[in-house]
């Protein structure tokens, strides 16, 4: 009789433990599910433009409707106006500011065309153009634009007028190129990758940076490269240019 009671107790205890374990497992699953839903994963890509809308972009210095930039398929295409009002520009910038990031963007330049990709832009009405504050990776037709012959630090992929690309990694005019720009002030490192080739690497401050700046057209510019946190932008340089797949990943 005692043996039967003992077996019954052990059986009850076993099922009790299983029920408790099952309940704990369910609670852990619910907690994990809530954690996934409520806590965003860090270092994810944020899409600035994917062909569907212009919600994350605006004209530099102008919060009104975007002009002369049109969505064509999955691309954002700039068509320069034929009768441009004096001192009017249509540079496009992100609505949000960024500090440390990886920016990926596809671009296609027209024959003989020129444009650029900026970061660190101050858009508060103090400056008239993004290039007065923001650094630029050059977008260019290396074969037919005169800037390509005016010093290699103005070729496609260059940190404009500061660091020349290690090679011409561009595709022929009319084909899409991919530029990936990494800016990390925590490590004092920046880089420009063109079509999978690292074409330029550069510091963001310090003696080496100061030397680069002193030997460039930007020497003495009050606002240039002064803002670690700023907007991302693409340039109206008066030529037809297309951009697509614009996305950014913020770095810790």
pLDDT along the chain (252 residues), means of 10: 42 45 42 35 85 98 94 98 91 98 98 98 97 98 92 95 97 97 98 98 98 98 98 98 98 92
Domain 45-250: CATH architecture, name and number where available: Sandwich (2.60)
Give the pLDDT of residue 116.
98
Give the pLDDT of residue 14.
45
CB-based burial, 67-86: b 16+ in 10 Å, e otherwise: ebbeeeeebbbbeeeeeeee
119 contacts: CB under 8 Å, gap ≥ 6: 98, 101, 103, 134, 135, 181, 183, 230, 231, 232, 233
Give the pLDDT of residue 190.
98
Give the pLDDT of residue 200.
98
Largest CA distance in the chain: 105
Count CB atoms within 10 A of the CB of residue 241: 27
Give the pLDDT of residue 13.
42
Give the pLDDT of residue 42.
57
Give the pLDDT of residue 20.
45
Give the pLDDT of residue 33.
35
């Amino acid at each position: 009789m005692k043996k039967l009671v003992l077996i019954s107790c052990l059986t009850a205890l076993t099922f009790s433990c299983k029920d408790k374990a099952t309940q704990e497992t369910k609670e852990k699953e619910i907690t994990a599910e809530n954690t996934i839903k409520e806590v965003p994963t860090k270092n994810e890509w944020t899409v600035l433009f994917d062909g569907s809308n212009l919600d994350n972009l605006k004209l530099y210095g102008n919060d009104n409707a975007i002009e002369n930039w049109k969505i064509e398929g999955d691309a954002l295409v700039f068509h320069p106006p034929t009768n441009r009002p004096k001192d009017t520009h249509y540079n496009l910038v992100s609505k949000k500011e960024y500090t440390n990031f990886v920016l990926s963007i596809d671009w296609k330049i027209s024959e003989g065309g020129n444009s650029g990709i900026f970061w660190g832009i101050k858009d508060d009405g103090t400056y008239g153009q993004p290039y007065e504050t923001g650094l630029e990776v050059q977008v260019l037709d290396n074969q037919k634009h005169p800037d390509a012959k005016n010093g290699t630090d103005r070729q496609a992929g260059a940190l404009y007028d500061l660091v020349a690309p290690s090679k011409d990694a561009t595709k022929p005019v009319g084909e899409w190129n991919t530029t990936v720009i990494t800016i990390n002030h925590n490590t004092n490192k920046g880089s420009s990758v063109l079509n999978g080739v690292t074409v330029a690497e550069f510091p963001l401050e310090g003696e080496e940076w100061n030397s680069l700046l002193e030997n460039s057209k930007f020497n003495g510019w009050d606002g240039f490269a002064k803002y670690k946190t700023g907007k991302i932008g693409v340039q109206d340089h008066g030529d037809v240019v297309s951009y697509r797949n614009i996305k950014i990943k913020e770095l810790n």
